[in-house]
Amino acid sequence: MSNSNRLEYLNDPSPQTLGRSPLEWLERLNGPTVVRVAGRDRSRTRAMATLNHGNEPSGFFALHRWLLEQRTPEVNMLFLLGGVYPAKIPPVLTQRQLPGGRDLNRCFKEPFEGDEGAIAHALLEELRDANPECLLDVHNTSGTGPAFAVTITNDAAHQALTSLFTDRLIMTDLRLGALMEYSEQEVPTVTIECGGAQDDHAHELAYEGLVRYTSRADVLSLEKADWDVAVLRNPIRVELAPEATIEYRLEPTGLADLTLPPDIEHRNFGVVSPDEPLGWVGKKGLSILNAISHNRTENVTQVLRVKDGQVYPAQAIKAFMITTNPAIAKSDCLFYAVKATGDPLFES
């Protein structure tokens, strides 16, 4: 990947350039790609990133469909496809990142080390050159579940962008080096989590949201939003310790530090009461888990408790981004949680 700091460019691509399907287009892409489409108003630009994770295709599918239709957007559009390399690894669209590589969506901050850091830095330079009025980063959730948005800023503009796709917005002060943190450049920036990567509804949601994003003269006015947005503030990020083991089974085998049921994804955005078990822990108990908020480690026992080897919420919670992918559970996180009311579990 010697050319990892170089980007490919497509300007107003024709249907012949794109191929007949998203997979055919992906096959033609040589690496991280910037797509520019001229709008009716050439004085303004909006940006959208997708495929930052190579196994999250909804935004990519939506973009391919939108480009094939040869629509003229209201303003200039800048599309960023960062994770082309992992997306192309057979079987395609199954690898979050390159084997042994870094998560690209943790690299959008200095010192921009390694190949992924170079790609992230190049994409940020494109954004600074384009000076967009807003930015979306379109993803799929790690498991099945309803769509939601994430931002580090909660104001009318961010809620309006969210409303193009969903009525749920997570506001977090946690900083991980995600592209979403471009909002600190005073550019309204929202991450859109469309739902599961294998969910046709998620693909359709991404497409319909993209059509709204590109066709409206004003996407930053809350008065013109399609629906009210419910805001959940500062979720706790529950992580598995690096050395810990996890299994997804109906009953624990006794071999793993943490066992979760295979259908735990159905808990996404539902309220879990303190008497509803989430799973099982081994002999190490809760020591294999961390609860993180506001860039500091919290006491996990304020979030979870153990009784007779089973894990329960310490108080009624609303959990989301629950995954049944053990690789993602170990490399990223198990889930996020707030109080059942939508308030933070830990007040700052």
Instruction: Give pLDDT tens digits for 312-323.
Output: 999 999 999 999
Instruction: Give pLDDT tens digits for 127-181.
Output: 999 999 999 999 999 878 899 999 999 999 999 999 999 999 999 998 999 999 9
CB 269 within 8 A of CB 145: yes
Instruction: Give pLDDT tens digits for 256-286.
Output: 999 999 999 999 999 999 999 999 999 999 9
pLDDT at 346 over 80: no
Q: How confident is the model at residue 227 (pLDDT cuts 50, 70, 90)?
A: confident
- pLDDT, mean over the chain: 94
Question: In the prediction, which pLDDT does 224 show?
Answer: 72
Residue 192's SS3 state is strand
CB 140 within 8 A of CB 56: yes
Give CA separation, 260 vs 230, 263, 264, 280, 310, in Å.
29, 8, 7, 7, 10
DSSP-assigned states of every residue in 120-141: HHHHHHHHHHH--S-EEEEEEE
Instruction: Give pLDDT tens digits for 4-30.
Output: 448 999 999 999 999 999 999 999 999
Question: In the prediction, which pLDDT does 14 show?
Answer: 97
Helices 58-68 and 200-215, interaxial angle, to 10°?
A: 50
- Rounded to whole angstroms, the Cα distance separating 86 from 149 reads 24
- Percentage with pLDDT > 90 across the chain: 87
CA dihedral (315, 317, 321, 323) in degrees, to 10, reads 50
Q: How confident is the model at residue 343 (pLDDT cuts 50, 70, 90)?
A: confident
Whose tokens are 């490919």? That residue is 8
Q: What is the DSSP letter of 169?
A: E
pLDDT at 347 over 80: no
Taking residues 194-213, report their average pLDDT. Answer: 97
Q: CB within 8 A of 104, min separation 6: which ones?
A: 52, 53, 82, 83, 97, 116, 119, 120
Residue 213's closest CA among 160, 164, 148, 151?
164
CB 89 within 8 A of CB 98: yes
Residue 232's closest CA among 277, 268, 204?
268
Q: How confident is the model at residue 223 (pLDDT cuts 50, 70, 90)?
A: confident
Q: Which residues pair with 136 in a beta bridge?
A: 48, 190
Instruction: Give pLDDT tens digits for 30-52.
Output: 999 999 999 999 999 999 999 99
Instruction: Give pLDDT tens digits for 290-315.
Output: 999 865 667 798 899 999 999 999 99
Question: In the prediction, which pLDDT does 2 show?
Answer: 36
Q: For the chain, where are the E strands, in sequence order?
A: 8-11, 33-37, 41-50, 75-81, 135-141, 148-151, 168-171, 189-196, 230-233, 236-240, 246-248, 258-260, 271-272, 279-281, 289-293, 296-298, 304-307, 310-313, 317-320, 335-339
Instruction: Give pLDDT tens digits for 100-136.
Output: 999 999 999 999 999 999 999 999 999 999 999 999 9
Question: In the prediction, which pLDDT does 348 show?
Answer: 54
Q: Report how far apart the first and last C-alpha atoms of the chain are (Å, whole number).
A: 43
